[in-house]
Amino acid sequence: QSALTQPPSASGSPGQSVTISCTGTSSDVGGYSYVSWYQHHPGKAPKLMIYEVTKRPSGVPDRFSGSKSGNTASLTVSGLQAEDEADYYCCSYAGNNYWVFGGGTKLTVL
Partner 1 sequence: QLQESGPGLVKPSETLSLTCIVSGGSITSVNYYWVWIRQPPGKGLEWIGNIYSSGRTYYNPSLKSRVTISVDTSKNQFSLSMNSVTAADTAVYYCARLSAMPRVFDIWGQGTMVTVSS
Q: Does 21 sit near partner 1 (CB under 8 A)? A: no
CB 38 within 8 A of CB 47: yes
Minimum Å distance from CB 77 to partner 1? Answer: 19
Per rule CB under 8 A, is residue 7 in the interface with partner 1?
no
Amino acid at 81: Q
Q: Out of 46, 63, 79, 85, which residue is the one contacting partner 1 (CB under 8 A)?
A: 46
Q: How far is CA 53 from each of CA 27, 58, 76, rounded to the nearest angstrom?
A: 15, 15, 12
Burial of 28 (0-12, 13-18, 19+ CB in 10 A): buried
Q: Minimum CB separation from partner 1 for residue 34, in Å? A: 5
Which positions lie near partner 1, rule CB under 8 A?
Answer: 1, 3, 6, 34, 36, 38, 43-48, 51-52, 55, 57, 89, 91, 93, 96-104
